[in-house]
Structures are given as structure tokens and as C-alpha cells.
Amino acid sequence: MSMSTAAAAPGGGWRRYFTWNTDHKVIGVQYLVTTFGFFLIGGLLAMLVRAELAQPGPDFLNGTEFNRFLTNHGSVMLFLWIIPVLAGFGNYLVPLMIGSRDMAFPNMNALSYWLIPPAGLIMLASFFVGAAEAGWTAYAPLSIQTPVGQTLWAVSVMILGTSSLLGAVNFVTTVFTMRAEGMTFWRLPLFVWGMLATSLLVLLATPVLTAGLVLIAMDRVAGTLFFSASNGGDPILWQNMFWFYSHPAVYIMVLPAMGIVSEVYPVFSRKPIFGYKAIAMSSMAISILGLTVWAHHMFTSGMDPRLRIPYMISSMIIAVPTGIKIFSWLATIWDGKIRFTTPMLFALGFISMFLIGGITGIFLAAIPIDLHVHDTYFVVAHLHFVLFGGSVSAVYAGLYYWFPKITGRMYDERLGKVHFVANFVGTNLTYLPMFLAGLLGMPRRVSDYSPEFATLNLMATLGAFLLGTSVLPFIYNAVVSWVSGPKAVANPWRSLTLEWQTDSPPPAENFHQLPVVTSGPYDYGQPTSVPGQAQAVPAAGD
């Protein structure tokens, strides 16, 4: 254990981020920085796609190249950015938030991280041998016929699934066995509830995708016939196995994000979260319901028509727990004393844009409408409002909110606000026109389109380039502030959750003395709730 001993030394230097390190904070930072790198790559691919689509007619990409960029844009963004970046927040925060010294399995934690860079390299290296071009959904039999890069893609996604799975085992075990004295389940911060609900989904859904990928890989490499229709194989089987994971994956990508904003609202409204238990339980409800809705992606597939009705109903019911969360958040900021810091702006932006994604989800669940808009730009707009307007906004909120905790330095508020405005305008400019394009008849994943959609696509492309540019002030802010920003105090936001009751950045093993928890995480506005005292008193005799 020489590595972790080195990490246990105060500081440890930047070199530790490039080693096998078992400190959950180091691993958390490794996750956050690496996945942000993949975010930039995915964004670059998106801008190439949007550039091709700026005007009708073939411009500079042929159909094959276009499909490769599009496929890897989706795969990188989902498997190498949103899912792992949220796991990165989980790694950094869960042990701190529950008052633990580390995760339950520190070495397995390091393994979860170190599976990601090679998997990312495999996915991107496939560009040299003919990258995957069947979309991130990899529908068989198209994904059986495409060049060898598709096999690398499947291997890469399997590795990333394994990483995510090991992380989930670790999170659940940590939350169940490593909570500090007095940290009952009803005192868990809502981000931890979000990670629990997510981990449940990862554990139950990811292995089915892995099994499906095994079948795809076997068809490609060993000549099996699972998806070969002429030999009795069934392409619909892949859709079932794929969506059984990939619809819950949306919740895997959104539940921790909802947890992040649930941390931000109370702190910057100086009010307790409204309906704590309802928010926590709605996360669990979403995760359980989320396992029953997958075939709403297959309404047009020609599956047994009678089966579609229950899937429509369960999909629509998910709007109820989601609504509970949104209304509870609004009630949290209502009558508060709101501070418009950058994290709060992103968290408020989260509600306004996630709402659009959520409402249009009801349109898609309604089968008669889905039969028209399925596989059109309407779906593209919907999923980007959920995952970009929603999850990515929350990720930004989290990055700004915990920046002083992670780096020990303050970021620049002015640049942060510039970033927020550019991001907010860019998101709406990019994705709102896509709804209309889809309704009017533009299919998704096309490298060319009828001239009637030219204006809408030009708007979307301009928005995408604004989004691309909006990352620059963030990167500048993060790098410069990390190196030479003003030093942050331990608890600059006067927050009550445990991660703020220790140094910024926290020392090795997190707490000088393990805390004993005596009150809830959001007890703002009560005389006892002085940060650093009420919630975390040193354990007697520790």
C-alpha cells in the first residue's frame, strides 16, 4: 500500500493524479478532469456534425463520416462524460457527505476509474480502423455489418459498463456500512439519495446491456446468428436488451444531477429543502419505475401492439415523481433569501430547461404522437433538453459549487456568470428549433435534409457554436482559479452538509475527527444550525 501511504501525506502534489491512488478525493478529481476532456471531444464531434448540417446539401462530410462522428458524439457524451462525471461527483462527495474516511473498497474504486481512460482510447482509436457508425443505439443488423470499429465500440462500452457497475457496488456498500455516528438514512443529503437510486439502476440494468453487447460482439466476431434475420435471428431482441439498460441510463444520468441541484437550492436560498422525504423517495420511485418503461422506444418497431399500452402508462407515470421534485424545488426557493451565485444560476437553469425535456417526454410517451415524432429531431431536442439542459447544467452547478471544496480556491464569479448566460442562450437556441424541425418532418441522424428545414438548422448550428464557445470562459476560469485563485475558507457558502465541515480541500482521510451527526443536512433558519457546530460535533473519545 505504498501508493495510498504517499497519498495520505498532506498534499501529495499533482503527480498523485496520474497514479493508482486509493484516496476517493483523488479518484473523484481524476474522474471529473478526465471526463471533462471527453466532454470536449464529444462537443467537438457535435460541432462537426452541426457544421455539416448548417445548410442543406452535402458540405464536407460524406454519409459514412457523418455517421461515425454522430455515433461517437453520442457514445462519448453518454458513456464517457455524463455517466462517469456524475460517478466522479459521487466518488468525491459520498464519503465526505456521510462522514466516512473513504469508500468501502478503495482499490476497486481506483480500478473503476482506471478502466475509463483505456475504454475511451479504444472507442476513439476506432477512428483509425473505421469507427462505429450505427448510432449510439447500435441497432442490429446494421451494427453487425459495419467495419471493425464497431467491435471496438462494443468492447469499450462493456468496459465502461463494468466500471460503472463496480462503482455502484462501491456506492451502495459505502452508504450502507460506512455512515458516521448519527447519520441515519433520513439525514442523508439528497445527492447521496440520488447516487443510491442511480446505483440501484446501474446494478440491475447495466448487466443486461453487457449481455446484449456480448451477443453483438459474438455475431460480429464468432459468426453467431442472434441478429441474422435470414437465419431466424431477431433484431428486436437487441432493441429490448439495449433499451432495458439505455432508458434507465437516462435516470442514471439525471438522478445524481437532481441530487446536485437539491444541494444547491437550500444553501443559496438559506432555507431547508422543501419535502425532503418526498424528494428522496421520488428518486427511488423514478428508479423503480424506470425499469418498466424501456419499450416506449420501440412503439414503431412492430412489436406486439398490445404490449405498448402498459409501457405508455408507466412512462407517463414517471412524470408524477418528477413533478414532485420540481414543485418541491420551487417551494424551496419560494420565500427564501436567494443569492445568485454561478452554481445557483445553473441550478435554476436546470429546472427551466429540464422542464422542457420532461414535458416533451409526455408527448413521446403518447403512442399516437410518438408514431409521428419517433426518430425525428423532436426526439433529439427532447433528449438534449433532458441531458444537456438538465444533467450538464447540474454538472456545471456542481463544479462551481464544490470548486472551493475540491481546489481550496474560489473561482471568478463574473466569468462564471458569462459562462451561464452563454450556455443558457446557446442551449435554447440549439435545441428549441429542433422540436419544430422534427414535428415538420425532419428525421434524426441525417447528413442532409430538405431545404424547408434550412432556417431551423442554421439556428441550431449557430447555437451549437455558441455552446462550444461558452466552454472557453469556464476552462479559463477553472484553470486560472485552480492555480492562482483567492484561497477559499473551509465553508464559503455557510452550508450545513458534512463535506463543508472540514478543510478545503479536505485532508487525507477527510476529517480531523470523525463527525457525529445530530441534525438533518438542510436545517437552515434554526438557531442551532451554525455551520461547523450543530451538525458535526467531534465524536467523544475519538
Partner 1 sequence: MQMDTRLSSKPGAGIRTYLLVFLGLAVITGVEIGLATVGLTRSLRLPIFVVLSLAKASLVAAFYMHLRSDSRFFTAIFITPVILILAVAALFIIA
Partner 2 sequence: MRERSIFAIVIISMLLLVVGYLAATQLNLMPAQASTRAVLVDQLFHVLVGTAAVVFVLVEGILVYAALRFRRRAGDETDALPIHGNTTLELVWTAIPAMIVVAIGFYAYQVLTEIEKPAPEPMVVEVIGRQFIWQFRYPGQGVTTQELHLPVNRPIRFEVTSGDVIHSFWVPQFRGKRDATPGRVSEFLVTPTEIGTFPVRCAELCGPGHANMTTQVVVESAADFQAWLAGEQ
Partner 3 sequence: MRDATRSGDEAGMFATGRRLGLDHLKLGMWLFLASEVMFFGGLISAFLHFKINNPSPESAFLDVVLVGLNTFVLLTSSLTVVLGLAAIQRGDRRGLIGYLAATILLGVAFLVGQANEFALLYRHGITLSSSLFGSTFFTLTGFHGLHVLVGILWALSTLFKAVRAGYSQSSYLGVEVFGLYWHFVDIVWIILFTLIYLI
Residues 277-336 that bind partner 1 (CB under 8 A): 291, 295, 298, 303-304, 307
Q: How far is the CB of 501 from partner 3 (least distance, A)?
A: 15
> Shortest CA distance to 164 belongs to which of 199, 211, 127, 137?
199
Residue whose C-alpha cell reads 439556428 in the numeric block: 459
- Chain residues 110-169 in contact with partner 3, contact rule CB under 8 A: 165, 168-169
DSSP 14-76: GGGGGS----HHHHHHHHHHHHHHHHHHHHHHHHHHHHHTSSSS--S--HHHHHHHHHHHHHI
Stretch that binds partner 2, among 21-29, 61-69, 103-111, 414-422 (CB under 8 A): 61-69
Does 535 engage in binding with partner 3 (CB under 8 A)? Answer: no
CA atoms within a 13 Å half-sphere pointing along the CA-CB vector of 524: 22
φ, ψ (nearest 5 deg) of residue 337:
-120, 85
Contacting residue, 47, 123, 215, 381, with partner 3 by CB under 8 A: 215
Is the peptide bond prior to 141 cis by the omega test (within 30 degrees of 0)? yes
DSSP 487: B
Quick one: which H or E segment has residue 537?
Answer: strand 536-538
- Chain residues 213-242 in contact with partner 2, contact rule CB under 8 A: 229-230, 232-236
Judged by beta carbon distances under 5 to 8 A according to partner kind, the member of partner 1, partner 3, partner 2, none in contact with residue 327 is partner 2
Q: How far is the CB of 102 from partner 1 (least distance, A)?
A: 16
**Strands annotated E in 203-256:** none
Residues in contact with partner 3, shown as a per-residue x/- string from 168 to 197 under the rule CB under 8 A: xxx-xxx-xxxxxx-x--------------
Separation between Cα atoms, residue 365 and residue 370, nearest integer Å: 7
Judged by beta carbon distances under 5 to 8 A according to partner kind, the member of partner 3, partner 2, partner 1, none in contact with residue 532 is none
Stretch that binds partner 2, among 82-90, 255-263, 371-379, 415-423 (CB under 8 A): 371-379
Q: How far is the CB of 298 from partner 1 (least distance, A)?
A: 8
Judged by beta carbon distances under 5 to 8 A according to partner kind, the member of partner 3, partner 1, partner 2, none in contact with residue 180 is partner 3
CB contact at 8 A, 260 and 89: yes
Cα Rg, the chain, nearest whole Å: 23
> Shortest CA distance to 478 belongs to which of 378, 404, 393, 376?
404
Contacting residue, 45, 154, 312, 415, with partner 2 by CB under 8 A: 312
Stretch that binds partner 3, among 199-207, 364-372, 456-464, 474-482 (CB under 8 A): 199-207
Binding site for partner 3 (CB under 8 A): 1, 4, 8, 22, 100-108, 165, 168-170, 172-174, 176-181, 183, 203-208, 210-212, 214-215, 218, 222-226, 231-234, 237, 241, 509, 514, 539, 542
